[in-house]
Every structure is written in C-alpha cells, then in structure tokens.
C-alpha cells in the first residue's frame, strides 16, 4: 500500500524490507488486554521536564502510582536529569521497590560516567537508559566523543540499559547517525518544544525514521507528543507508529512523510491496529512525555486500550 495504508510501497531499492510479520493486534483467541503489545512501555515518564515541570518530590510518587495502575504496561521508566540524581536517590530510599530510571545527561559528555555511577551505587535505583544530547558542531566529531563516553560508562551497548544519542536538526546529522550506528547505540529525535518552530516538518521526521532503519538503529522521540493524532502544531504518536511501520515495510521517505500528516483518528487507529507490533516496536522503542494521562485517555477514546474488569 501507499501512505494511506499500513505498509509503504517498495521504494528505496537498496534498503532491506524489515517487516518481520508476526501476529497482528487482535488476532487469536487469547484474553482481552488492557494495553496491547503495540503500546507496551511506549511512554517514558518525563513529568519533571517542560512543560510539566513537576517537582521531583511529586513526580516520584506519581510515577509509582502509574506503575501500579491498570495501565502500568504503557509506562516506561522515570526520566531524570543527571543533575537531579542525588535528589532522586534520596527519594528512592523510602520506596518499597527499586525505581527504574533513565538518565537524561544534562551535565555534558563528561558527566555520562558520573551519572551512570550514581545510579549504580544506589541499590534503590535501576538504570533503564541513558540519553545524551549532541551539542555544537561538527556533529560527527561530537558524536564520536559521545559514544566514547558511553563506552566508558556502560562498557558498550546493552539492551537492558539502552543509550540514546539525541541528534539535532542541523547539518551533519546523517554523519552523526553513522557514528551512532557504528557504535551500536540508539538515536533520539526532538519532535517539539516551547515554540512552534521546535516542531520538525514531516519530511525531516521521515528522513530521520528512514535514516535510522537504513542503518539498523532503534530510536525514540521526545517533546510535543502528548496526543495520539496529528494536530496543526504537534505530531501524533500514532502517526509516528504508523510512519515506522510504513518505513519498516519498505516505504519511501515520501510515504513516511505522508503518514505523518494524517489527522483522522479513526483512520489512524484502524491502520495501527493492523500493524505487526514486533516489527514496529523493534525500531520505535518509546517516547518521552510529561503527561501519562493525556496519551492514555486518547488511546482509550480511540478504542485502542481499555480497563478490563476482573
């Protein structure tokens, strides 16, 4: 199919078609699921980041509540700035269970090792990811320094502690992706922010998705993804899931960009339901959101998630 369907056309002849098949959502006669596999651990809890800016002392109990709710399967780790890890460790010591955390390194490349060590030394924290933004140019050289810092801190790529390099929308981003791919790490794209121009256009997001799949790089997104369906000034996370499925099925960058513009919720929901979850989530790992309630409410409204009575 073209961009209006589930799989893209067979474009980009040099790219391997990565649609691995598998059971579709809703197939089979198993029990009803509150959160289908397509959405498991899709939303990382970025409550302490803008625009939510929830104080850490409030974000931790809120996260614990999310992780014990009926929709807990939707929620990934708590995202925490490296500069706040000591405070987080103090709060975690009073919790009944260890807290899964993904560290957003806001202390520079030199701070990666210290951040990882801080988590490792606190038994009430479990490291579930590291995210490092690239700053300055040339991006390729900065990416090499970043992956070297990740190697020193983590000992190399680890799916249990995935490391993401945030690639900015600036010249040299493809070179940076090459470096990330060679090192075996993952990529991250910022899809929104405080101003309208922080939202990348569809063709840039499509180029990132296709570029990651071409290089075999799993990826995540952050910012501006509170809503399931595309809005005038926001991307939709269902659009991004369908875009990933389109690219994984061999679609061209143009096919992927077209999917990102769909603003019909029912149409998107139907198309995403038909996607094989393993081949999509193999690449699109998660996204950060300062709200869990908003994406959850929209999944429920679209009939994609539901609380099943015991």
CA distances from 173 to 9, 50, 133, 153 (A): 26, 25, 12, 24
pLDDT band at 197; cut points 50, 70, 90: confident
* 76, part of any domain: yes
Number of domains in the chain: 1
| Residue pair 92/64 in contact by the 8 Å Cβ criterion | no
Whole-angstrom Cα distance, residue 37 to residue 244?
A: 15
pLDDT at 112: 98
What's the domain range around 165? 43-190
pLDDT at 12: 36
* 109, part of any domain: yes
Mean pLDDT of 163-177: 96
pLDDT band at 196; cut points 50, 70, 90: confident
* 179, part of any domain: yes
Per-residue model confidence as pLDDT tens digits over 87-133: 999 999 999 999 999 999 999 999 999 999 999 999 999 999 999 99
Whole-angstrom Cα distance, residue 305 to residue 33?
A: 8
β-pair partners for 223: none
* 203, part of any domain: no
Mean pLDDT of 31-51: 90
DSSP annotation string for 83-142: GGHHHHHHHHTTSSSPEEEEEE--S-GGGHHHHHHHHHT-TTEEEEEEEEE--SS-HHHH
Residue-averaged pLDDT of the chain: 90
pLDDT band at 136; cut points 50, 70, 90: confident
Model pTM score:
0.89
Tokens 């009073």 correspond to: 94
Whether the pLDDT of residue 250 is over 90: the answer is yes
Distance, CA of 210 to chain centre: 15
| Residue pair 15/250 in contact by the 8 Å Cβ criterion | yes
* 274, part of any domain: no
* 239, part of any domain: no
pLDDT at 310: 67
Per-residue model confidence as pLDDT tens digits over 261-299: 999 999 999 999 999 999 999 999 999 999 999 999 999
* Dihedral class, residue 26 (left if φ above 0, else alpha if ψ from -120 to 50, else beta): left
Whether the pLDDT of residue 58 is over 50: the answer is yes
Which tokens hold the place of 28?
A: 């089979």
* 157, part of any domain: yes
- Selection from 234, 244, 230 nearest residue 275 by Cα: 244
- Selection from 182, 101, 180, 80 nearest residue 134 by Cα: 180
Whether the pLDDT of residue 24 is over 90: the answer is no
Instruction: Please state, for a pLDDT cut of 90, what percent of the chain lies above it.
Output: 85
Mean pLDDT of 212-221: 98
* 107, part of any domain: yes
């Amino acid at each position: 199919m073209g961009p209006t369907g589930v799989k893209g056309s067979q474009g980009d002849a040099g790219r391997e078609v990565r649609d691995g098949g598998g059971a579709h959502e809703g197939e089979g006669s198993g029990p009803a699921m509150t959160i289908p596999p397509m959405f498991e651990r899709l939303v990382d809890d970025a409550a302490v980041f803008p625009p939510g800016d929830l104080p850490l002392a409030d974000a931790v109990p809120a996260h614990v509540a999310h992780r014990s709710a009926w929709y807990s399967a939707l929620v990934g780790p708590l995202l925490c700035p490296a500069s706040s890890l000591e405070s987080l460790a103090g709060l975690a010591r009073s919790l009944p269970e260890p807290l899964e955390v993904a560290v957003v390194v806001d202390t520079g490349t030199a701070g990666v090792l210290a951040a990882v060590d801080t988590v490792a030394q606190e038994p009430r924290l479990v490291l579930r990811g590291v995210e490092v933004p690239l700053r300055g140019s040339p991006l390729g050289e900065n990416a090499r320094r970043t992956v070297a810092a990740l190697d020193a801190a983590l000992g190399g790529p680890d799916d249990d502690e995935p490391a993401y390099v945030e690639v900015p929308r600036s010249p040299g981003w493809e070179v940076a992706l090459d470096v990330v791919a060679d090192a075996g790490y993952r990529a991250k794209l910022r899809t929104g922010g405080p101003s309208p121009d922080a939202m990348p256009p569809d063709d840039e997001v499509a180029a990132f998705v296709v570029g990651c799949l071409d290089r075999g790089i799993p990826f995540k997104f952050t910012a501006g993804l509170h809503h399931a369906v595309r809005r005038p000034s926001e991307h939709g996370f269902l659009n991004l899931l369908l875009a990933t499925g389109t690219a994984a099925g061999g679609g061209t960058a143009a096919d992927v960009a077209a999917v990102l513009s769909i603003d019909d919720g029912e149409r998107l929901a139907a198309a995403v339901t038909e996607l094989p979850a393993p081949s999509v989530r193999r690449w699109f790992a998660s996204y950060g959101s300062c709200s869990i309630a908003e994406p959850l409410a929209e999944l429920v409204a679209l009939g994609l998630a539901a609380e099943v009575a015991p």
